[in-house]
Structure 1
Amino acid sequence: MPFLSQFRAAPNLLTLMRLFIIPFLVIQILDGHYRMAFALFMLAGVSDALDGLLARWLSQKTTLGQYLDPIADKLLMSTLFVVLTHVGMVPRYVTVLVFSRDLGILLIATLLFATGTLRDFRPSLLGKLNTLVQIVGLVVVLSEKVFPLMEIGSLRSWLIQAIAWLAPLSAAQYAWIVFRRVNASQPSAV
């Protein structure tokens, strides 16, 4: 499929919508409109689930989608961490750990891809768990503002701590996997 035509594929349109939601989500949080922010975050989550399903059902898997989808996901999550830290809902150290992990992985993946050393960067099980806990954590953090009568403070605290532990652990696992794969692909010196 020609590159410009890939923008018209239904899954990619959903991904672009998710990117379009981000500034409005930020505005709603900064203005203290947490119900609308929660609704926008849920809409972004639904669009993320649907774009993958549509890509399979409609046979519209595209090169653009392979790059755009994870970029949209990371941009959404990273932006939320920064904004929620700014308004005091997520501790700074958690956002720093999340950003450090993502930046490290991005730099290593870019370097390995550019040098042709490795081209396959599938997430590990711990990486997937890290992402899941981050998503659930952000939902709970926003839920605390939307549903103030719910006693979820201890769940929020537990999830924040889990994020703080999983981010560096999954980064270390990713580094270890890359190290092993790079060493396995190198011819040994005789």
Structure 2
Amino acid sequence: MKTADCDILILPGLSGSEEEHWQARWAGRLSTGRIVEQDDWHEPTPAAWCGRIAQAVAAATRPVILIAHSLGVVAAVEAVPSFAEGVVRGAVFVALPDIERAPGLPESVRAFAPIPRDPLPFPSLVVASRTDPYCAYERAEDFAYAWGAALVDAGESGHINVASGHGPWPEGLMRLAGFMKNL
């Protein structure tokens, strides 16, 4: 599948994606990509975030590819039951946070627990770092397995965000292209 043939919905995590974040850059670079805006990026609620994602998927005029980071991954997986069958054709999930176990997370984030473990009805890719402060690699691997997702070992990449040196993240774009080629 080519990017021109689908609607690419970009789902940031807590606090949104600042201008330098790879998701914001991709939204500007991918002609069919757009960020799904949330009413409150700093005090998320599962119903509101999942509802916004479900609305964006329902409004799509072409097949949908989801690109989620951090809490956006959890919200996307929680929103899956509300998607019409066959609309979402694939998803790339980056830096899943372990909202069930990671220390120091705000209560608003913990409200998204538990993370669903049902197999996803579309192909997906989980990109996980071995040094993500919000999720042990083994936990990301466990969720990828439960979802039926392919797992990409991103090495020692932190939370795969601006703070960990992933501004434009060209390797991620290459992974996205390879993933979409096989859809």
TM-score by length of 1: 0.26
Q: Which has the larger radius of gyration?
A: 1
TM-score by length of 2: 0.27
The answer to which structure has the higher strand fraction is: 2
